[in-house]
Structure 1
Amino acid sequence: MPVTDEMVCFSLYAATRATTQAYRTLLEPWGLTYPQYLVLITLWVEGEQTVGTLGDHLQLDSGTLSPLLRRMEQSGLVRRERRPGDERVVTVTLGDRGRELRSELAHIPARIAAGTGLPDQQAAGALIDTLHRLTETMHAAAQPPVPADNRTPSERH
């Protein structure tokens, strides 16, 4: 057995790649990427979002999200508008094509759910809860350690 088969991180990586490939196959007829699909789902379910809120929900930084939204806007999937009264805030809403795709793509969540092999919604919920906890603890583990005297290395010199 390869050493990677015993690594949690590799198992997560492999599952993520397989899931992304499944989405790629399902979304290809519409010319959509998985991140674009996530933007659409968020807007379908939660409505108008600011770019900042959308980035937080999807865990995408502005360097990734801004070009993604620009391409989506050019395709008529979304509209971006600066908020009147505060030009720094950009809101994102569905474009005409984005609204039209909701019914066309309605089958995708069920196809992905079936592809997971999970027996029911309870098992899916348990997996999602576990993955949320893992994400939180890994974000915390990725933070640099705080020195005992609470000063950064440059402040100590």
Structure 2
Amino acid sequence: MKIYIIGAVASGKTTLAKTLSDRLDVPYYSLDNVVHLPDAQSPTGNTKRSVTEQAQLFAHILQQDRYIIEDVGRPQFTKGLHEVDHILFLDFPVYQLYKRVIFRWLKQGVGIEASNYKPTVAMLSKMLKWTTTSSKRQIQPFLAKTTILRNKRDNQNYSDQFEV
């Protein structure tokens, strides 16, 4: 089974990927970790990998027999949409994403939640901007193998199908 979870920042991609990974016993990969490498010395808390290194890491993931990948819909990973058996598109209302981004940022700022980046005001601003970026156009050619999840309940109902 090969699943691609795609959605805006704070739509629940990682949470859903982890849940499905546990229930299906399939490894999951966050493509944020393919793009960025943790770097405590960097002002942002991470460093962007070279395009070549990103391509190599992504190609290695796609060679696996089973996987779950999650991403915001970066163009360099479009090949994954062709390769997978199923796409989950998390299409949450923007106001809900704003709320989630702000609460996440606050929790990361006080150390309650881990982060792959430094939770600065500049990062909060970027994340709020990214919530309005949709991948709807990107998934159009793949609607036959796409399930659209529009809220937390949809996510839960989908993952409950695989209850152990």
TM-score where L is the length of structure 2 = 0.28
Q: Which has the higher helix share?
A: 1
Q: Which has the higher strand share?
A: 2
TM-score where L is the length of structure 1 = 0.29
